[in-house]
Amino acid sequence: MSKLDKKQLTGIAALLVHAAKIDEHYSDKEKNIILLFIKSFAGKGEIVEQILKEAENLENNSNQLLDFTNIIKKSSQDFKARVIKELWKIIISNDISDEYESNLMRRICGLIYFSDKLSGEIKMSITLERKKI
Residue-wise pLDDT tens digits, 32-89: 999 999 999 998 888 999 999 999 999 998 877 778 899 899 999 999 999 999 999 9
pLDDT of the residue at 45: 83
Sign of CA dihedral 88, 108, 17, 26: negative
Measured distance CA(75)–CA(62) in Å, rounded: 22
Specify the 3-state DSSP secondary structure of 75. coil
* Model confidence at 29: pLDDT above 80: yes
- Assess if residue 1 is contained within a domain: no
* Model confidence at 133: pLDDT above 90: no
pLDDT of the residue at 1: 43
Read off the pTM: 0.91
- Assess if residue 117 is contained within a domain: yes
The domain in which residue 20 lies consists of 6-132
- Assess if residue 34 is contained within a domain: yes
CATH code of the domain containing 38? 1.10.3680.10
